[in-house]
Amino acid sequence: MPAQAHASNKILQTAARIALLGLLINVVLASVKIVAGVIGHAYVLIADGIESALDIGGSIVIWGGLTVAARPPDETHPYGHGKAEPIAAIAVALGVLAAATGLAVESVREILTPHHGPAPFTLAILIVVIAVKEILFRYVNRLGRRTESTAVQTDAWHHRSDALTSTAAFVGISAALLGGEAWYSADDWAALFACAVIAANGIRLLLPAFHEIMDTAPGGKIVRTIRAVAISVPGVVEVEKCRARKMGLDYYVDLHVGVDGNISVHEGHQIAHGVKSAIQRSDSRVADVLVHIEPAKV
């Protein structure tokens, strides 16, 4: 197995383990929040717990997507299984949007329905939840940004979304406790605000995964770097076309380079190999480079 593929698979396996850890934490937090919300008459906490329960499904999807993406290329998938990663991210983002819609409808129903005020102990639970989720977000997001994994970053922002909804719940419950009976619906308004945050995060997560599925040209300096490396290879006169697409954590590059039209086929072949090797050495994320040799324009 090539060194680049081995490194990518190792990162994907690590990411899958982190997604599994997030899943286990979400199981505990969702159970605690839902039970505490029912006992403490805090609908925003129940809504927050339901959102965490949906995160469990999201973590399962992310874990499954990363596990499939880590599989090496085979006969039917010569470019590997990297597309499983953005597919998982899209599934999770759509789930987030569906959850936001359902919770918003229920929040409005609770605002229109008289009910008991929330219990003070629910605030202590939310403080713990916010701290745990923010720590998880920072850790997972750092890994996602380092590896440029769409699915891992999606999972990270799931944790940040949960931290934000829990913060909204804390504010809503505090207002209900301080304001008395006239403010009992404050936690429901907080739940409605949390739904808006969840929906915004869902859209934020959906777009990059969709772009990756559509083979949108990668942003940043990777294409400029590839061009610069290719033109520096001895024998290369010009770089005409340079296309790159992301497949999981890896990049696949198509390159048209111009060389002296009078050299032999063998020499052109050697230059092509030199270009490919130089590009892969310059960036370990480049899994393969297809180099097309053309006579340079005089």
CA separation for the pair 9, 111 (Å, rounded): 49
Place of tokens 């403490």: 40
At 31, list the tokens: 């159970």
Distances (CA, A) of 104 to 98, 166, 249: 10, 15, 35
Superfamily (CATH H level) for 3-213: Cation efflux protein transmembrane domain (1.20.1510.10)
Q: How many CB atoms lie within 10 A of CB 69?
A: 28
CA separation for the pair 40, 116 (Å, rounded): 9
- Does the 222-295 domain belong in CATH 3.30.70.1350? yes
What string of pLDDT tens digits covers the 298 residues of the chain?
455 555 566 666 676 677 777 778 888 888 888 888 888 877 677 777 777 777 677 777 777 777 787 777 778 887 777 778 788 888 888 887 887 887 788 778 777 776 666 778 888 888 988 898 888 888 888 877 777 676 677 778 777 877 877 887 788 778 877 876 667 677 677 777 778 877 887 787 788 888 878 777 776 678 888 999 999 999 999 988 888 888 777 788 999 999 988 899 999 999 999 999 999 888 888 888 989 998 987 5
CA separation for the pair 200, 172 (Å, rounded): 20
pLDDT at 233: 92
Is 10 within 8 Å of 249 (Cβ atoms)? no
Strand 238-247 relative to strand 250-259, pairing: antiparallel
Query: Residue ranges of the domains in the chain?
Result: 3-213, 222-295
DSSP states of 177-208 as a string?
HHH-GGGTTHHHHHHHHHHHHHHHHHHHHHHH
Is 291 within 8 Å of 8 (Cβ atoms)? no
At 72, list the tokens: 């090496």
Looking at residue 80, the DSSP 8-state letter turns out to be: -
**pTM of whole model > 0.85?**
no
Q: Which residues pair with 295 in a beta bridge?
A: 259
Alpha helical stretches, state H, the chain: 3-39, 43-69, 84-111, 121-147, 150-179, 186-213, 222-231, 265-282
pLDDT at 184: 63
CB-based contacts of 117: which residues, under 8 Å, 6+ apart?
A: 41, 176, 177, 180, 181, 184
What are residue 230's phi and psi, to 5 degrees?
-60, -45
Distances (CA, A) of 197 to 20, 47, 104, 162, 194: 24, 13, 11, 9, 5
DSSP states of 232-243 as a string?
TSTT--EEEEEE
Is 29 strand, coil or helix? helix
Task: Give residue 216's Cα distance to chain centre.
Answer: 16
Is 222 within 8 Å of 258 (Cβ atoms)? no
